[in-house]
Amino acid sequence: MNIGVLALQGDVREHLSALAESDVLARPVRRPEELAGVDGLVIPGGESTAISNLAVSFGLLDPIRKRIADGMPVYGSCAGMIMLAGTVLDGRPDQESFQGIDMTVRRNAFGRQVDSFEAPVEIEDIEGGPFHAVFIRAPWVEETGRDVRVLGRVAEGDAAGRIVAVRQGNLLATAFHPELTGDLRVHRYFVEMVRQAL
């Protein structure tokens, strides 16, 4: 099984390590030829406007859209969630996404004064108790289409009830960063999605 991590910008290394700890030798993807060799792709956290710009200049926007349309499993964390959204609110006017998940996300939704915070989040499908979820200038999901399953919401605090984890078919997205906490359950869940799609 070959899993790639989109390596244009963001916390690529953290995702590569989380996958390595999940017993998968993942590789960075920067070029269309590298994309062609992977069975699944992780889109890291970072800055979605930068990832969008670089995806256009590296010729990856359309090839990734096409692989998504063909059913390739993709997991996006934070900026990666934004890159999978059909509609992005508070984005830059020229910001592109890979599409795929029928949802509307709002960038930097948790408020400017709260740059980052941590909160427990239960993820449907993943056992073992709530995630200690780390949010950094994170988006949330404001609307989901009929085919989108809501997997997780913020459990407590001002943002309680906000949708922060979703799945639609082979696409998985979290507004938080499991790659920063050493909790491998989301990565292992994604690896299983890729295995099942082989």
Binding site for ligand GLN (CB under 6 A): 45-48, 78-79, 82, 107-108, 136-137
Choosing from 14, 15, 96, 177, the catalytic residue is 177
Closer residue to ligand GLN in complex, CB, 2/108: 108
Question: Active site includes 143?
Answer: no
Q: How far is the CB of 56 from ligand GLN (least distance, A)?
A: 15
Closer residue to ligand GLN in complex, CB, 39/142: 142
Name the one residue in this structure whose structure tokens are 């062609």: 36
Backbone angles phi, psi at 18, to 5 degrees: -60, -35
Is 57 annotated to bind a ligand? Reply is no
Chain centroid offset of residue 22 CA: 17
Is 149 annotated to bind a ligand? Reply is no
* The total number of residues written for the chain in this structure: 198
Helix 48-57, helix 61-69: angle, nearest 10: 100
Question: Active site includes 15?
Answer: no
Is 137 annotated to bind a ligand? Reply is yes
Question: Active site includes 179?
Answer: yes
Please state, in angstroms and as integers, the Cα–Cα distance from residue 160 to each residue in 9, 15, 62, 119, following that order. Answer: 30, 27, 36, 9
Q: How far is the CB of 182 from ligand GLN (least distance, A)?
A: 17
Is 101 annotated to bind a ligand? Reply is no
The strand pairing partners of 27, in sequence order, are 4
Q: How far is the CB of 66 from ligand GLN (least distance, A)?
A: 23
Closer residue to ligand GLN in complex, CB, 39/47: 47
β-bridge pairing 74-77 and 171-174: parallel
**Separation of alpha carbons 178 and 53, rounded Å:** 25
Residues forming the annotated binding site for L-glutamine?
Answer: 46-48, 107, 136-137
Which residues are known to be catalytic? Answer: 78, 177, 179
